[in-house]
Structure 1
């Protein structure tokens, strides 16, 4: 066994470039893990810089300088984002407040439905089971209310951090776009001279990350807008609030869609009950989710999601547990990074073979 491990280690890690690549990845992961709170504005700025790089490049190809292109793109993006948020946030806040106001009535309505189950299904559901279920739900609601109170108190501190983000992030995005060549050259100087393997992985990941971020933002807007339109057409309560939730749910592949289905179904059920309207709405919602997963995602992400769904879910759970929100957001690129690293590593150890996840 020991001889096999020595042989495996000598075969896989005899190349200095392989060792350098793994050390670089290890340092990067550890830095993000331990310094994620400090580096959060930088990560946000990097994500937006990737998003805005495409229009900046297009303007430079039209003959504008890099500085002028960056100013135009950043100013246009900030203006559009500000107008969008000024329209969405007040309506979402109003609908969220109405939902909290109507929540006690919805809870009582839910209790009435549950208490009718023993009469409708006497051989399957007992009164004791319903009482235990109601008691469990009441306890969870109490815990939820306590957590929401703590969250509202903590939001005062988060408001200060948000104000800092609103100043620092646009500045960093601007300089990341404007001085991209200089920043990249400075980073490359820190790398060893023998960096062919690192360059191979980087060039593959750079295009995938840009494709992924641009596609994810477009997916959020498309899915959210279509969901809002469908909810409004059906006359569902809180349509914009639920549409925003459905749009944001695409940040978590597969899991997000499953989780956000619950509030949509509950609001529709408490509004219409077990009627045809409820069935038609859930059918329309199911069609949206099916089109998103089977049509929109392949079009937007192309090679960026060339991963088995099992690996994507594992990546969401693993990187989300390590890095929180940003681990979830970048779960697919990080999984692709692992895949690209293993492929490059295997090709270097066995030049005539090709290993893929």
Structure 2
């Protein structure tokens, strides 16, 4: 058995470039897995730096120095962020507080409706089953409420850390954008010499990650804003809060859209009941989801590597389980990375076999 493992290792890792690529990937995954929470501000800064690198590069085309372009872009970014925090978030917080106050009434109305089902459909629904179902839902909501309350207190205790991150992240972004080339050259000095394959994979993934981050944030803004105006003009309660949930749901392909449909339908149902208004809202919401999946996503991610939906869902589950939010956010790029490495692996082996064959022909 050990001989088979040794033979497999010798066959697959005979190329030193391939060994370096494997070790770099193993080191990166290990660092992120064990130190992901500590490095969260760094991840946020890197993502935002990827997002803002395009406008910085665009300004440099007009003979503007990179430092000046970075300062212009960062001033605009900080101004827009302050506007969002001071203008949009208070509305979302007010609607969240209103939703929390109205939730017991909504639950009581739902409970009363469910209890009437055995009366209307005595042959199809068992009253005992309904009672157990209501008790289970209550228990789940109480447990969830306690968990959210504990998380809220934990967040209040970490408010000092959030204030530090609010200063630290923009500062790191400035240096990442201003000194981009110097940082890349400095990091390259610590890499092993046999890094040809690693550089090749990184060059391919760098462009894809950049396009993915820009596309995903653009998709969140488009879907969130379109949903907000739709809910606002149809006079749906908690329109800003629900629009935020719908916008963030695009982070989780397929699963997010299905999950966020539940609160939208529940709020509309308790506001209007089974009525034409409820039907119109769900039709409008369905149109938004259809346009997102069939128009917005193909346009924004036209350069992305084609992945099967099953692969995407499995990637979300695996990487989300390993690294939480960041695993979910980067599930598609990570799946693309795995695919790129697997595609490069056999090609390296075939190339080595071809070189060995040519060498034998020369000897003969």
Instruction: Please tell me the TM-score bracket, short chain as reference.
Output: over 0.9
8 Å CA contact 1:51–1:210 kept in 2: the answer is yes
Q: Kindly indicate whether the alpha-carbon contact (under 8 Å) linking 2:224 and 2:247 is maintained by their aligned counterparts in 1.
A: yes
Q: Report the equivalent of 2:360.
A: none
Q: Quick one: distance in 1 between partners of 2:96 and 2:344?
A: 49
Q: Which residue of 2 aligns with 1:90?
A: 90
| Higher radius of gyration, 1 or 2 | 2
Deviation at 1:8, TM superposition (A): 3.6
Alignment of 1:266 with 2:266, yes or no, is: yes
- Runs of 5+ consecutive residues of structure 1 not aligned to the other structure: none
| Distance (whole Å) between structure 2 residues aligned to residue 349 and residue 49 of structure 1 | 36
Q: Deviations over 1:295-335 (max 9, x none)?
A: 11111112225211111111111111111111111111111
**Counterparts of 2:158 and 2:250, CA distance in 1:** 24
Please give the residue correspondences for 1:213-292 in structure 2 after superposition, counting only pairs within 5 Å: 213-292=213-292
Q: What CA RMSD, in Å, does the superposition of the two structures yield over aligned residues?
A: 1.6
User: 2:310 corresponds to which residue?
Assistant: 310
Aligned length: 353
Q: Distance in 2 between matches of 1:165 and 1:346?
A: 43
Looking at structure 2, the residues matched to 194 and 278 of structure 1 have their Cα atoms a distance apart, in angstroms, of: 62
Task: Note the alpha carbon deviations across 1:176-202, whole angstroms, 9 max, x for none.
Answer: 010011100011111122221011101
2:189 corresponding residue in structure 1: 189
Matched, 1:50 2:36: no
Moved more, 44-53 or 138-147: 138-147
Distance 1:156 1:100 in 2: 18
Report the CA distance between 1:352 and its aligned residue: 11
State the match for 1:104 in structure 2: 104
TM-score calculated relative to the size of structure 1: 0.95
Task: State the alpha-carbon separation in 2 of the partners of residues 4 and 193 from structure 1.
Answer: 29
CA distance in 2, matches of 1:254, 1:159: 33
User: Cα distance 1:106–1:344, how it changes in 2: closer, same or farther (>3 A)?
Assistant: same
Instruction: State the alpha-carbon separation in 1 of the partners of residues 190 and 132 from structure 2.
Output: 62
- 1:213-266 CA-to-partner distances (Å, cap 9, x unmatched) read 001110000000111111112211111110011001111111111111111010
Partner of 1:76: 76
Partners of 1:261 and 1:73 lie apart in 2 by 36
CA distance in 1, matches of 2:302, 2:233: 32
Query: Corresponding residue for 2:142?
Result: 142
Partner residue, 1:207: 207
2:24 is matched with 24
Distance in 1, Cα, partners of 2:9 & 2:122: 65
Which has the bigger relative contact order, CA under 8 A and spacing at least 6?
2
How far, CA to CA, are the matches of 1:302 and 1:4 in structure 2? Answer: 43
Match of 1:344 in 2: 344
Aligned to 2:116: 116
Instruction: Give 1:148 deviation, angstroms.
Output: 2.1
Q: Once the 2 structures are TM-superposed, how far is the Cα of residue 9 of structure 1 from its aligned partner?
A: 3.0
- Provide the rounded CA distance (Å) in 2 between the counterparts of 1:250 and 1:85: 21
- The farther-off stretch of 339-348 and 40-49 is 339-348
Structure 2 distance, partners of 1:351, 1:113, is 68
8 Å contact from structure 2 (residues 312, 331) kept in 1: yes
Question: In the alignment, is the contact (CA less than 8 A) between 2:20 and 2:194 conserved in 1?
Answer: no
